[in-house]
């Protein structure tokens, strides 16, 4: 145990225990601060606040390191598949061959959704954003699966976890099919997780569909890259929702809603739209100037990160995957890729971006890849949600199983009106 931290405030000097993790910064336990000083800490955006203890994912933003249960993302993306990563995040260890086979079998046999969910979809306009459909349909799962909403039962928690991992691709594919007016395609149990998803998205009943193994492997790797990322905004949303005892489906729906924002998971959609707006290499300088202009709200979407002050390790793997997919599809000169590569080159040599440590993040290249695969821009964040569901569920389970867990209830700095007397309307 490290030496305690001492703080002089409100005319007192109080000590706080300092806790060390296995790697990464120590934390100062300030849970008794208010009781001892009558003061709160103030940290909007939680830039210096650890909200929990976790054993799942570790990020070193200065070094550009990302570990899932201690394993570097580069190795998991290179050697494993997405369901292996799901097992690792949920159970804490890489599966044996037998455990992997059993896990794949269990996930595969939870991929169908209740048939009445189809009627639920009929209520949406065809041009509804797929993320709106996902927020609603994921939350609606709690109206269908009452036998896995008792969060105090470990068995029900694991059943709900498997159902979420298994059904997200089905719901995502249904959201896509509904938006283009095509019939839903049922899951096919003899396909692997990601091949099954591609088939549910792109097959039609009137002809056979053959999954391209290169594209399936690339998308599976993209899912691995997006699976978890410690206490990001949507994961913190899931944890906060879960701290009230809400059922897991409702908590994941809250995570989907938060992920939708363009500052978070919505950045992949926004980044591709930005590249399309830039349109050509010649127009890059004017957009770089706008990104640096304090009076212009424009930001380079897909650039910058709260934690990474170095290159996002996922972005490097994403860039490699982009080239693989474009080569496989015979797309030689994608103008958007040319703009992205030149934009990255210019930004990484520009004093503003260097000084603010702004590097491409995972969302910078993902849009180009997903567009090449045939996904519309509006589906990009849906795919992010499909992958991140296992991270949300793993973090939710860890929070529920943490004996020190209490309902999350932050305080505030109040700057509103002090107490004042009511004035009747004829005297105002």
**CA atoms in the 13 A half-sphere facing the CB of 283:** 12
Q: Are 16 and 7 in contact (CB under 8 A)?
A: yes
In this complex, which beta carbon is closest to ligand SDX, that of residue 57 or of residue 247?
Answer: 57
Contact range with ligand SDX by CB under 6 A, out of 24-32, 108-116, 158-166, 293-301: 293-301
| Pick 174 or 267: Cβ nearer ligand SDX | 267
Which residue in 258, 301, 386, 399 binds ligand SDX (CB under 6 A)?
A: 301
Site string for ligand SDX, 195-234 (x = CB under 6 A): ----------------------------------x--x--
The least distance separating ligand SDX from the CB of residue 213, rounded to whole angstroms, comes to 27
Provide the b/e sequence for 203-217 (b: ≥16 CB within 10 Å): beeeeeeebbeebbb
414 contacts: CB under 8 Å, gap ≥ 6: none
Q: Least CB distance from residue 385 to ligand SDX, whole Å?
A: 11
Integer Rg of the chain from CA? 23
Q: Contact between 174 and ligand SDX (CB under 6 A)?
A: no
Task: Rule CB under 6 A: say whether 363 interacts with ligand SDX.
Answer: yes
C-alpha 56/C-alpha 395 separation (Å) is 7
Binding mask 243-272 for ligand SDX (x = CB under 6 A): --------------------xxx-x-----
Instruction: Verify whether residue 104 is a known catalytic residue.
Output: no
Instruction: Indicate whether 291 belongs to the interface with ligand SDX (CB under 6 A).
Output: yes
Q: Kindly indicate which of the ranges 13-21, 32-40, 138-146, 295-303 contains the residues binding ligand SDX, using the contact rule CB under 6 A.
A: 295-303
394 within 8 A of 351, measured Cβ to Cβ: no
CB of 303 to ligand SDX, least distance (A): 4
Minimum CB separation from ligand SDX for residue 326, in Å? 22
Write down the least CB distance from residue 253 to ligand SDX, Å: 17
Contact code string over 66-105 relative to ligand SDX, x by CB under 6 A:
----------------------------------------
Beta carbon nearer to ligand SDX, 139 or 302 = 302
Contact with ligand SDX (CB under 6 A) among 303, 359, 375, 392: 303
372 is a contact residue toward ligand SDX (CB under 6 A): no
How far is the C-alpha of 420 from the C-alpha of 428, rounded, in Å? 14
Q: Is 102 a catalytic residue?
A: no
Reading phi first (left if > 0) and then psi (alpha if -120 to 50, else beta), residue 127 is in: alpha
What is the distance between the alpha carbons of residues 103 and 342, in angstroms, rounded to a whole number? 43
Question: Which member of 356, 374, 401, 410 binds ligand SDX (CB under 6 A)?
Answer: 356
Say which of 81, 104, 228, 363 is annotated catalytic: 363
Catalytic residue among 305, 349, 350, 402: 305
By CB under 6 A, residue 344 contacts ligand SDX: no
Q: Could you tell me the smallest distance in angstroms from the CB atom of residue 106 to ligand SDX?
A: 26
Applying CB under 6 A, which residues contact ligand SDX? 45, 229, 232, 263-265, 267, 291, 299-307, 356, 358, 361-363
Mind telling me the catalytic residues? 305, 363
């Amino acid at each position: 145990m490290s030496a305690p931290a001492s703080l002089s405030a409100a005319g007192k000097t109080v000590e706080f225990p300092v806790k060390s993790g296995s790697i990464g910064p120590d934390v100062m336990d300030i849970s008794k601060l208010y009781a001892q000083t009558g003061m709160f800490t103030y940290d909007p955006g939680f830039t210096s606040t650890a909200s929990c203890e976790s054993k799942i994912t570790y990020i070193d933003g200065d070094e550009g390191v990302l570990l899932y249960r201690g394993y570097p993302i580069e190795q998991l993306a290179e050697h494993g598949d997405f369901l292996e990563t799901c097992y690792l995040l949920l159970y804490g260890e890489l599966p044996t061959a037998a455990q992997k086979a059993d896990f794949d079998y269990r996930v595969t046999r939870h991929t169908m959704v209740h048939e009445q969910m189809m009627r639920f979809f009929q209520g949406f306009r065809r041009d509804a954003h797929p993320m709106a459909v996902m927020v609603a349909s994921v939350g609606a799962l709690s109206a269908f699966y009452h036998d896995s909403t008792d969060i105090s039962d470990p068995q029900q928690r694991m059943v709900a976890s498997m159902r979420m991992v298994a059904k997200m691709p089905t719901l995502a594919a249904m959201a896509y099919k509904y938006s283009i007016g095509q019939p839903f395609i049922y899951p096919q149990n003899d396909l692997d997780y990601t091949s099954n998803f591609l088939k549910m998205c792109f097959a039609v009943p009137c002809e056979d569909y053959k999954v391209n193994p290169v594209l399936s492997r690339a998308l599976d790797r993209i899912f691995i890259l997006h699976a978890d990322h410690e206490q990001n905004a949507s994961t913190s949303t899931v944890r906060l929702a879960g701290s009230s005892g809400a059922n897991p489906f409702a908590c994941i729906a809250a995570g989907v809603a938060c992920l939708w924002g363009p500052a978070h998971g919505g950045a992949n959609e926004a980044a591709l739209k930005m590249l399309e707006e830039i349109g050509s290499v010649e127009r890059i300088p004017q957009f770089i100037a706008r990104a640096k202009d304090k009076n212009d709200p424009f930001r380079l979407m897909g650039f910058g990160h709260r934690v990474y002050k170095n290159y996002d390790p996922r972005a490097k793997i994403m860039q490699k995957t982009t080239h693989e997919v474009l080569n496989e599809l015979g797309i030689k000169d994608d103008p958007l890729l040319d703009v992205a590569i030149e934009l990255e080159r210019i930004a990484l040599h520009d004093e503003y971006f260097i000084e603010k440590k702004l590097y491409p993040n995972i969302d910078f290249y993902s849009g180009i890849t997903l567009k090449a695969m045939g996904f519309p821009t509006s589906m990009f964040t849906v795919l992010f949600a499909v992958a991140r569901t296992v991270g949300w569920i793993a973090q939710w389970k860890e929070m529920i199983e943490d004996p020190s867990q209490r309902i999350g209830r932050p305080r505030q700095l109040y700057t509103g009106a002090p107490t004042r007397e009511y004035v009747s309307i004829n005297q105002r």
